[in-house]
Amino acid sequence: MRRALEETAELTEFRVRHGRLPLGGIDEVQPVLEALAGSGGAADGPGLVPILAAARAAEAVRAALAQTRSPQLSARRDRLPQFPRLLERARQLFESDGSIRDNASPELARLRTGLRRRRLEMSRRLQKLLDTRREFLGDAVVVLRNDRYCLPVVASARGRVPGIVHDRSGSGQTVFVEPLETIEANNEIALVGAEERREVERLLTEFGREVLSRAADLELAVGELAQLDAIEARVEFGEIARARVPEISEDGGWTLVAARHPLLDPLLAPLRRRALGETRSERPIVPLDLDLPRDRRLLVVSGPNAGGKTVLLKTAGLFSLLAQSGIPVPAAPGTRLPLFRAIRAEIGDAQEILSDRSTFSSSMEKLAQVLLEAGPDTLALVDEIGAATDPEEGSALAAAWLAEYLARGGRAIVTTHLSAIKNFAAAREDAISAAMEFDETTGRPNYRVHPGLSGRSRALSVAREQGMPAAVLSKAEEILGDSWRRQQERESEAEAAIERLREAERELATERERFQAEAEKTSAERDSLARERVRVAKEGLERFDKARHELTRRLDEELAEIRKDSSRHAELSAVRLAGEIAEGVERQEGIDQARDELSAPPGTLAVGTRARLRGGKIEGRVSSLEGGTAWLDVAGKRMRVDRDNLEPLGASPSNRSRVAGQHASLRPEPVAALTKEVKVIGQTLEDAIIEVEKQLDQAMLAGAGRLRIVHGHGTGKLRKGLREHFRGYPGVERVYPADPREGGNGATIVELES
């Protein structure tokens, strides 16, 4: 299965670089080979077309795959048989339409040359007869009847043209006569024609036997080409659905990220219309997210009717089957799927009226069969388990069935409205409940799944929406009693908490976008100021050069005047010039410094300089350098980063004091206190610590306020080791278990220093 996925991935890359494989025009060769074997190799040219098409396609595909070094595609290329001799012989024998070439053999060339010469002579002879007996002829043309050249003679004048009558026209007004003068010439044409046919048959039989000698290779080639065609179909499906090759889960974990069922995905609507005749209008869908660790072998999904429970169940099973068939899945990166040796489903109403079987009896029969096949690496998908009978008995049967199925090592995803099944899942460590989300405001499901919660069926809400009278609904609530009402209130509170969390997430996303916009604006302003500074410096240098030239000119004039004037005048002039020269030297120093700034390459990293992450907007001051590592102060936080990932900003240390004032307003605003997440389920403590430290550094760098570590429950060793290690860790303020809504004791929150 992994090899099939690798083939799909390799061919996807191949198509991007080199286009499609030349697989067109291939047909089955087995019927042709069987016919050849039955006739001892005798065949006609057109009948050999499938053979030649398969051989040509094999050679063309081998040539195309020579452009790749991908392991799986290279292996398939090497398995393709080669047919250069067979194709070369075919080029010598056949025209493009399958007919035999004149020069297929020297004997055939001689015979066909003779035939053409005799037919030309026959045509000339008959043309003379046409000219001399035109009054007896129906048409002034030569016709061919029974492979003999004849003249069309008017029936009433048949005796005027001696010869053999070969046919009569449909109207009976014309007979086709072979004149006596041409009988011997026609005989010679017939004899040569027979020899030509025997030579053609000999050549075709010889070639047919050569084909039979390669029969096994031809069947192997068609089989390999068919498999490549199937891989191309998988790739094309992936391109249409914007799907991707999923990861195969090594630890048995199951993660779906933004999964879209192919029968609902709008991207696949044109394909469904073509293949299935679908007529319903397109509509947007809510992608599915699901995360099940290996130790959670049972998922119980509950929630309102039409809330997406069955779609979740089908999507999970279908994606596993797609992956195990080497087909890309319509999902986002991060999707991981386990392997199953068997997947069994009990979905839909299996009632059979003619065989006197009810829905419940049919369901029990299927579940009994599923249980017989249960074992490790098997998956059961059961929709509305325990339904269609008395709720108490159905719940008991369903719980007992699930307990036995899990005891045999299987995994299961079931949907239910029965509280007893939800309670059964809540009481087991290897099970988890999930609720389909419902929007109280609109009274409609949102089709999102929330693990860890038990969903409400909302039968009364659905009945109210469908027009059920209020009196009936009130009576139903009275019958359900206070315990039902309290349960509804608790579940409503949980859903309200989820909605508050979602609102906080939306606000956080808005704040993140605002910060990103501000950071981009600040960066643009900084770049604009830097360009302006360069412009001003260039203009200043130009003015200085002009002033220096003027000073040099005046100095030359004053020196000339000194030579003429008295010594006193010379002394005064020298004092004045010395002052101007000193002022020029002072200006020169500033100008030289500006020149250095304009012409010098970007500054190097040093303690105290400002630097920015390459490819990002985050910048700060370098507080220390330790080998390949640098510590960067960003908005009051000290971040550790790779030295190669930093690029220096602003002026060099020698002129930083003069530039600092210009850039004081460009310091980044504090980053919003975000929450990052890292998953280390199934890792060793050492590997987990390394991964968390890396994510912790990135969280600090991004300005996150918290890091959520998802380690699962397990034996508790990983949880304990991580918490002990990161208490007192630099930059960490405190470590504590996650809120139940964030995973409870299966996750740890690391709060960073502000």
pLDDT digits (tens, 9 = 90+) for 533-582: 778 877 877 887 788 788 777 777 777 776 665 444 544 454 455 555 54
Contacts (Cβ under 8 Å, ≥6 apart) of 69 = none
More confident residue, 531 or 465: 531
Contacts (Cβ under 8 Å, ≥6 apart) of 621 = 608, 609, 610, 611, 632, 633
Contact 363, 380 (CB under 8 A): no
* DSSP tally for the chain: helices H, then strands E: 19, 23
- What integer pLDDT is reported at residue 239 of this predicted model? 92
Contact 326, 243 (CB under 8 A): no
Candidates 457, 496, 492, 437; CA nearest to 286 is: 437
Q: In whole angstroms, what is the distance from residue 24 CA to residue 614 CA?
A: 49
3-class SS shares of the chain: helix, strand, coil, % to 5:
55, 20, 25
More confident residue, 663 or 180: 180
Query: What single-letter DSSP state applies at residue 245?
Result: P
Q: In whole angstroms, what is the distance from residue 604 CA to residue 646 CA?
A: 10
| Residue 733 backbone dihedrals phi, psi, to 5 degrees | -85, -45
Q: In whole angstroms, what is the distance from residue 425 CA to residue 434 CA?
A: 10
- What integer pLDDT is reported at residue 651 of this predicted model? 42
Contact 72, 170 (CB under 8 A): no
Candidates 731, 735, 721, 639; CA nearest to 687 is: 721
Helix, strand or coil, per DSSP, at residue 116: helix
pLDDT tens digits, one per residue of 417-436? 888 888 888 888 899 988 88
Two tokens, residue 214? 């390669």
Query: Crossing angle, helix 84-93 and helix 183-213, to 10 degrees?
Result: 170
pLDDT band for position 652 (cuts 50, 70, 90):
very low
pLDDT band for position 392 (cuts 50, 70, 90):
confident
- Torsion over CA: 398, 400, 401, 406 (sign): positive
Range from 296-310, 637-651, 692-706 that averages highest in pLDDT? 296-310
Tokens 């094999």 — which residue? 58
What DSSP line would sit under 529-593, residue for residue? HHHHHHHHHHHHHHHHHHHHHHHHHHHHHHHHHHHHS-HHHHHHHHHHHHHHHHHHHHHHHHHHH
pLDDT band for position 715 (cuts 50, 70, 90):
confident
Candidates 298, 295, 292; CA nearest to 319 is: 292
pLDDT tens digits, one per residue of 58-77? 999 999 999 989 999 999 99
Whether residue 256 is predicted with pLDDT greater than 90 in this model: the reply is yes
Whether residue 175 is predicted with pLDDT greater than 50 in this model: the reply is yes
More confident residue, 187 or 630: 187
The maximal CA–CA distance of the chain, rounded, in angstroms, is: 154
pLDDT tens digits, one per residue of 349-386? 555 544 456 677 788 888 889 999 999 999 999 998 87
pLDDT band for position 648 (cuts 50, 70, 90):
confident
End-to-end CA distance of the chain: 49
- What integer pLDDT is reported at residue 671 of this predicted model? 36
Provide mean pLDDT across the span 266-279. 88
- What integer pLDDT is reported at residue 194 of this predicted model? 92
Q: In whole angstroms, what is the distance from residue 181 CA to residue 429 CA?
A: 107
Mean pLDDT of the chain: 81
Q: In whole angstroms, what is the distance from residue 208 CA to residue 714 CA?
A: 69
- What integer pLDDT is reported at residue 672 of this predicted model? 36
pLDDT band for position 489 (cuts 50, 70, 90):
low
Candidates 101, 145, 107; CA nearest to 126 is: 145
Contacts (Cβ under 8 Å, ≥6 apart) of 517 = none
Candidates 26, 20, 14; CA nearest to 50 is: 26
Neighbours of 485 (CB within 10 A): 11
How many CA within 13 A on the CB side of residue 483?
Answer: 3
Q: In whole angstroms, what is the distance from residue 687 CA to residue 11 CA?
A: 34
Contacts (Cβ under 8 Å, ≥6 apart) of 699 = 674, 676, 706, 707, 752
- What integer pLDDT is reported at residue 481 of this predicted model? 75
Whole-number percent of the chain with pLDDT over 90: 27
Q: In whole angstroms, what is the distance from residue 472 CA to residue 658 CA?
A: 82
Helices (H), 66-182: 71-79, 84-93, 106-132
Contact 731, 700 (CB under 8 A): yes
- Pair type for strands 629-634 and 619-626: antiparallel
pTM of the model: 0.57
Q: Three-state secondary structure along 31-58?
A: HHHHHHHHHCCCCCCHHHHHHHHHHHHH
Contacts (Cβ under 8 Å, ≥6 apart) of 649 = 609, 610, 611, 612, 619
683-702: string of b/e by CB count within 10 Å (b at 16+)?
A: bebeebbeebeebbeebbbe
Candidates 469, 29, 23; CA nearest to 229 is: 23
pLDDT tens digits, one per residue of 183-221? 989 999 999 999 999 999 999 999 999 999 999 999 999
- What integer pLDDT is reported at residue 654 of this predicted model? 40
Q: In whole angstroms, what is the distance from residue 415 CA to residue 384 CA?
A: 5
Contacts (Cβ under 8 Å, ≥6 apart) of 87 = 52, 55, 56, 59
Contact 5, 248 (CB under 8 A): yes
Helix, strand or coil, per DSSP, at residue 300: strand
Whole-number percent of the chain with pLDDT over 70: 82
Q: In whole angstroms, what is the distance from residue 361 CA to residue 366 CA?
A: 9
Provide mean pLDDT across the span 239-257. 90
Kindly tell me the burial class for residue 83, based on how many C-beta atoms sit within 10 Å of its own C-beta (0-12, 13-18, 19 or more). buried
- Torsion over CA: 664, 670, 671, 676 (sign): positive
Q: In whole angstroms, what is the distance from residue 555 CA to residue 549 CA?
A: 10
